[in-house]
Amino acid sequence: LYPEAQPRHSGFLQVSGLHKLYVETYGNQEGVPVICIHGGPGAGGNASHARCFDLKHYYVIVYDQRGAKRSMPFGELEDNTTQDLISDIEQIRKHFNVEQWLVSGGSWGGALALAYGQSFPGQCLGFILRGTFLADKSAVAHIFTHARKQYPEYWDAMVAHIPVDERDDLLCAFTKRVMDPDPAVQMAAAKAFMLYDLSASTLVPNPELVEEIMSDSRVTLGVARLFTHYARNDFFLEEGELISKCNVIAHLPAYIVHGRHDGLCPVSNGYDLHKAWPGSKCHIAESTGHSFAEPGIQKGLVAASEALKRVLL
């Protein structure tokens, strides 16, 4: 990654009567604009995402989606849909007087990047997508059911939190608990889910990364609440929509980076998106899992941003 940098700007943007988003900008204001869209839903923006870009060349905007991390009100589910988040991205673009920008996102952030691009193709210069999450029923089933085959001990630790008679629908069981009015019940369920998610996100166990992220209770609870909210509403998308609408943005450059051993979002997701997007580039990072923290993923993202320097002159 490029060296750490201080934000040029940080503050809040009111996007509705209820919601205001935390936003940071980095780099060259005269450079190629980039919006970095975080995963989760609910994880919040990360300054490290700006380090994928040469800040002498790019102007990078990092933000927290509705209800996530530093945005307010925290954990709020009212007026919090994919369509609301798409509208927010447009408001950010207009607020910073950006005509067109490069759209970058990982995991759920990649799904939202696609949904935004398919709604506003004229505002997009291209895409960098990591760990493709297609926000459909099979994606949720993989996390709660199929990944058990690869991570049985992590899965067992997660479901130990749920009574046996509720384990046939883990999404429902965790939703019930992270939405409970008792904060202690919320956090216990959120920690169980987040520990599983983080443990399965790297190819080689990374307890330091798990501890670092889980030490932030707002990220832990935010992901648990917002992920279950979005998942039980099918991410407010039609089944298969993100692939079926690729023709809308097929004329734009796209770099897809996916870990060969991604246990949360199978590598076939990234490859299927690549096949549906003529002209896209798909880099499968060997010896790598799902997490942005994986060195192979970071190397692939930096290479993508460097390649786009030559395209987006």
Catalytic site positions: 107, 262, 290
> Which amino acid makes up residue 251?
H
Joined together, the tokens standing for residue 309 give 């320097």
Backbone angles phi, psi at 158, to 5 degrees: -70, -50
- CA proximity to 170, closest of 158, 179, 157: 158
Spatial distance between the Cα atoms of 42 and 220, rounded to a whole number of angstroms: 9
CA atoms within 13 A of residue 206's CA, in its CB half-sphere = 20
Joined together, the tokens standing for residue 47 give 């300054």
In the chain, % helix, strand, coil (3-state, to 5) comes to 45, 15, 35
- CA proximity to 110, closest of 212, 257, 7: 257
- CA proximity to 89, closest of 157, 36, 168, 144: 36
Beta carbons within 8 Å of 13's beta carbon, 6+ residues apart: 20, 21, 23, 63, 91, 92, 95
Q: Specify the DSSP element, H or E, that contains 69.
A: none
Classified as helix, coil or strand, 249 is coil
Joined together, the tokens standing for residue 111 give 């799904």
